[in-house]
């Protein structure tokens, strides 16, 4: 553990209180205004939430994976828009630098990411390269001691807020696969970098995604992550292994919130002369949701502990992402069902969560990509 038990308990309790008292009451207005209020962002900075997964030596809290997933269980208890805002700085927008950056790159960016002074973002997906990430076409041509980037990245979370992007681009035009891909830290004000219009999404209002376009965008050679070409795809995969565990933990938190809300509603709402919670068909839905949510929590904790022990958890992270995100989809669906007509009406908030959780099965690797990763690893191990 990076923190002693008492400090960890205090942190989790503070975050749980912040979520309950400060964030939950704002859920409807954040969705309505498509923005997290500035004063809430400032409070998140003060709590250290922009840097919980960044090492202490760079100004973060340096949580272990187990500590991080426990924190994500708490942060998951409210609209995912709040978590997304701090999610990239701790996750995909910083972990590439932490894993593979040079000491100079770490010193330059991590303290400001940890404090929340700047937002980091991750630019892998392209119009023609989603699940098949290694087929990306954005190019980085070396010229006069600089790199010149050309291409378009798509659905980039926090792009409008970001000051830096970890961009994956092809430095070797002759190679069509993973080996020709390199990672760069690109500052948002680089000449030739521009953003598209904000995407109009199914849910998760308050979180913003846009295209990021590079048109002869010139960046210094020192922006090459780790100073080594051809390692970018592996960096992306390592970052995603970690991110998938985090998303699974957020899914657990969201399911716990939805179960608590459905249970309360079922105990309050009466039909046929008694609370609907006393009807066995409602109980079956509550029990299925509880059992599945508990299973996901146990999986996530186990995988996180394994990672902390130094094991490679690509398979386990895939299992967690697959199971937990599908699980929260079923839980949200049952929550709408338990609420009945009210579940379909925006005022009750359940339909918003139902739309919000739909993304979890898609980003940071779809369910089908998790299946592929898990099965490929199983076959590889059996052949070894």
Nearest to 94 by CA among 74, 71, 76, 118: 118
Alpha-helical runs (H) found in the chain: 5-18, 27-33, 38-46, 65-75, 80-90, 95-100, 103-115, 232-268, 280-308, 314-339, 350-356, 367-383
Binding to ligand COS in span 117-136, by CB under 6 A: 124-125, 131-134
Binding to ligand COS in span 348-367, by CB under 6 A: 363-365
Shortest Cβ 171–ligand COS spacing (Å): 15
Shortest Cβ 177–ligand COS spacing (Å): 6
Question: Measured from the CB atom, is 19 or 240 closer to ligand COS?
Answer: 240
Q: What is the rounded distance in angstroms from the CA atom of residue 241 to the CA atom of residue 230?
A: 19
Active-site residue among 161, 229, 364, 381?
364
Question: Measured from the CB atom, is 125 or 138 closer to ligand COS?
Answer: 125
Binding to ligand COS in span 125-184, by CB under 6 A: 125, 131-134, 178
Mark 168-194 as b/e (b = at least 16 C-beta within 10 Å): bbbbeeeeeebbbbbbbbbebebeebe
Question: Measured from the CB atom, is 134 or 350 closer to ligand COS?
Answer: 134
Shortest Cβ 241–ligand COS spacing (Å): 5
Q: What is the dihedral of CA 284, 288, 291, 294, to 10 degrees?
A: -130
Binding to ligand COS in span 301-330, by CB under 6 A: 314
Q: What is the rounded distance in angstroms from the CA atom of residue 232 to the CA atom of residue 96?
A: 9
Which tokens hold the place of 248? 């699974």
Question: Measured from the CB atom, is 297 or 307 closer to ligand COS?
Answer: 307
- Token pair 């308990």 is found at 9
Binding mask 231-270 for ligand COS (x = CB under 6 A): --xx--xx-xx-----------------------------
Q: Is 364 a catalytic residue?
A: yes
> Catalytic positions, please?
364
Could you list the residues that contact ligand COS (CB under 6 A)? 124-125, 131-134, 178, 233-234, 237-238, 240-241, 314, 363-365, 369, 372-373
């Amino acid at each position: 553990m990076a923190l002693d038990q008492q400090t960890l308990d205090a942190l989790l309790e503070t975050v749980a209180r912040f979520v309950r008292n400060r964030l939950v009451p704002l859920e409807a207005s954040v969705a309505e205004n498509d923005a997290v209020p500035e004063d809430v962002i400032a409070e998140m900075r003060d709590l250290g939430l922009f840097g919980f997964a960044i090492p202490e030596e760079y100004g973060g809290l340096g949580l272990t994976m187990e500590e991080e997933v426990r924190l994500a269980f708490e942060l998951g208890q409210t609209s995912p828009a709040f978590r997304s805002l701090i999610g990239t700085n701790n996750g995909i927008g910083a972990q590439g630098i932490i894993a593979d950056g040079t000491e100079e790159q770490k010193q330059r960016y991590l303290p400001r990411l940890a404090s929340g002074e700047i937002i980091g973002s991750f630019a892998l997906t392209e119009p023609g390269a989603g699940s098949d990430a290694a087929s990306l076409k954005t190019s980085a041509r070396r010229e006069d001691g600089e790199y010149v980037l050309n291409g378009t990245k798509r659905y980039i979370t926090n792009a409008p807020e970001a000051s830096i992007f970890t961009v994956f681009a092809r430095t070797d035009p002759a190679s069509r696969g993973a080996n020709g891909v390199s990672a760069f830290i690109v500052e948002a004000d680089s000449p030739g970098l521009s953003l598209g219009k904000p995407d109009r999404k199914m849910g998760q209002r308050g979180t913003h995604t846009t295209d990021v376009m590079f048109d002869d965008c010139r960046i210094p050679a020192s922006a090459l992550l780790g100073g080594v070409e051809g390692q970018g795809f592996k960096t992306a995969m390592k970052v995603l292994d970690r991110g998938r565990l985090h998303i699974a933990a957020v899914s657990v938190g969201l399911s716990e919130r939805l179960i608590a809300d459905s249970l309360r509603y079922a105990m309050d709402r009466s039909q046929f002369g008694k609370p609907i919670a006393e009807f066995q068909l409602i109980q079956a839905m509550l029990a299925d949701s509880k059992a599945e949510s508990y299973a996901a929590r146990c999986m996530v904790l186990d995988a996180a502990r394994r990672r902390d022990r130094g094991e490679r958890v690509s398979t386990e992270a895939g299992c967690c992402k697959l199971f937990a995100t599908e699980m929260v989809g079923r839980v949200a669906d049952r929550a709408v069902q338990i609420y009945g007509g009210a579940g379909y009406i925006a005022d009750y908030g359940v339909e918003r969560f139902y739309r919000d959780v739909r993304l979890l099965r898609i980003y940071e690797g779809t369910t089908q990509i998790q299946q592929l990763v898990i099965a490929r690893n199983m076959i590889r191990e059996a052949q070894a």
